[in-house]
């Protein structure tokens, strides 16, 4: 829905056997003191400490880089209305926008009507996508979900936490999920309204601080921890997460006393194929430059065609995605956590994620010998 490809799903036929498939299988740059932007390591190894400080101003990565084109299109249409008889509509909207500019930083305007659109259920059944709850969440606590892996577009994250297609509100009553994405998306007229209606928020420090300290309890911020780096290694058959040096989200959790919840999405890497550029190649150089200066890395990927599965296109392959929400890790509130504190809880988080993967991998089509690679 945040991608230009999601428009296709309104016309795609519901796949045969979707419900049968459901029965078998259904951010993040280093966060530091400043955050402005939304996947095996042996735990016996010492976690490197020289790489844990964040680049100022960087917090996460947009799981849906193709949200940018529709955002530009909305802006262009509004600008065009200035040259038509409907110019007053654009003037009124931009005037209102000036007064409403900071709303995304305060949780936005969630719409249960939008989150319950019937199209999301068709979207869910196409793959199909399911959400698996393993433990209850207390409404008296706040949470940071680490979502793994990124995949190409993070479709499981969107469906499970920005819509009610998999009944997240019923499975976790009293919990308000906020899926974090690039703050730049909320500078796009009209697109920002749609994003907020789904409970999507900017992944920046102002927003996270507000939601975890001034919005009561029962908030769950979902951060796609691996970010752009993880998306570049996404490919079918690979289970790897970029997490070894991603510790900023742990620091945020400690500062606010928000419990960490490891979340793994089996099948997220299966829905698209991409061209993998080797380290040192011109293609990887271009991707890293985009990642550094824009916040996302362009991928050369493909799915199936719109009308035929035998052709290439932008429609994702119909592969099951099962998102398993693990057991919360209780985090104490430390206003000024030390590096030792951060390292300790980061190691606990990595261990919990690996255990979650190992416990559920055979249930969703992976062999017992499959190992989660933590980079």
pTM: 0.80
Give residue 217's pLDDT.
96
Assign 293 a pLDDT band (cuts: 50, 70, 90): confident
321: tokens are 């995605």
pLDDT of residue 72: 72
Three-point CA angle 245, 249, 251, nearest 5°: 95
Classify 67 as helix, strand or coil. Answer: helix
Q: pLDDT-derived band of residue 68, with 50, 70 and 90 as boundaries?
A: low
DSSP string, 313-351: ESBPP---EEEEE-PPBP----SS--HHHHHHHHHHHHH
What distance in Å separates the CA atoms of residue 352 and residue 331, rounded to the nearest whole number? 13
Band (pLDDT 50/70/90 cuts) for residue 239 is very high
Contact 115, 159 (CB under 8 A): no
Is residue 261 over pLDDT 70? yes
Average pLDDT over residues 370-375: 96
| Residue in the block written with tokens 């065009």 | 80
What mean pLDDT, rounded, does the chain reach? Answer: 83
The SS3 assignment for 273 reads strand
205 and 59 Cβ atoms separated by less than 8 Å: yes
In this predicted model, what pLDDT tens digit does every residue of 154-194 receive, in sequence order?
Answer: 999 999 999 999 999 999 999 999 999 988 889 888 889 99
The tokens 């606010």 sit on which residue?
256
Which residue ranges make up each domain of the chain?
4-68+105-374
Distance, CA of 87 to CA of 104 (rounded, Å): 26
Across 126-139, b (16+ Cβ under 10 Å) vs e yields: bbbbbbbbeeebee
Among the ranges 78-82, 132-136, 192-196, which has the highest mean pLDDT value? Answer: 132-136
Burial of 103 (0-12, 13-18, 19+ CB in 10 A): middle
- The kind and range of the H/E element at 113 are helix 112-115
- How far apart (Å, rounded) are the C-alpha atoms in residues 169 and 160? 10
pLDDT value for 262? 98
Check pLDDT > 80 for residue 289.
yes
pLDDT at position 55 over 50: no
Question: Band of the pLDDT at 89, cuts 50, 70, 90?
Answer: confident
């Amino acid at each position: 829905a945040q991608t230009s490809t999601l428009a296709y799903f309104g016309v795609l036929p519901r796949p045969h056997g979707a419900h049968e498939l459901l029965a078998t299988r259904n951010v993040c740059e280093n966060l530091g003191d400043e955050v402005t932007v939304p996947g095996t390591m042996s735990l016996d190894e010492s976690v490197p400490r020289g790489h844990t400080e964040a680049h100022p101003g960087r917090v996460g990565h947009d799981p849906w880089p193709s949200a940018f084109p529709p955002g530009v299109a909305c802006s262009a249409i509004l600008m065009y209305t200035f040259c038509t008889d409907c110019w007053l509509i654009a003037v009124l909207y931009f005037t209102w926008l000036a007064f409403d500019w900071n709303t995304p930083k305060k949780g936005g305007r969630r719409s249960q009507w939008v989150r319950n659109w019937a199209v999301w259920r068709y979207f869910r059944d196409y793959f199909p996508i399911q959400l698996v709850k393993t433990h209850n969440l207390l409404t008296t606590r706040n949470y940071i979900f680490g979502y793994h892996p990124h995949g190409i577009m993070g479709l499981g994250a969107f469906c499970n936490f920005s819509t009610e297609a998999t009944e997240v509100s019923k499975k976790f009553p009293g919990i308000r999920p906020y899926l974090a994405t690039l703050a730049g998306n909320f500078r796009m007229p009209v697109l920002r309204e749609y994003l907020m209606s789904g409970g999507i928020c900017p992944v920046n420090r102002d927003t996270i601080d507000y939601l975890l300290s001034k919005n009561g309890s029962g908030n769950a911020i979902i951060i796609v921890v691996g970010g752009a780096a993880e998306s570049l290694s996404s490919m079918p058959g690979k289970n790897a997460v970029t997490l070894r040096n991603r510790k900023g989200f742990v620091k945020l959790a400690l500062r606010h006393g928000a419990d960490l919840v490891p979340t793994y999405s089996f099948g997220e890497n299966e829905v698209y194929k991409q061209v993998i550029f080797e380290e040192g190649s011109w293609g990887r150089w271009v991707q890293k430059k985009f990642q550094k200066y824009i916040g996302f890395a362009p991928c050369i990927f493909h799915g199936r065609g719109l009308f035929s599965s035998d052709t290439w296109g932008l429609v994702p392959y119909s592969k099951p995605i099962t998102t398993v929400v693990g057991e919360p890790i209780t985090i104490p509130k430390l206003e000024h956590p030390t590096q030792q504190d951060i390292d300790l809880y980061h190691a606990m988080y990595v261990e919990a994620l690996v255990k979650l993967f190992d416990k559920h991998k055979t249930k969703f089509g992976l062999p017992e010998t499959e190992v989660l690679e933590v980079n």
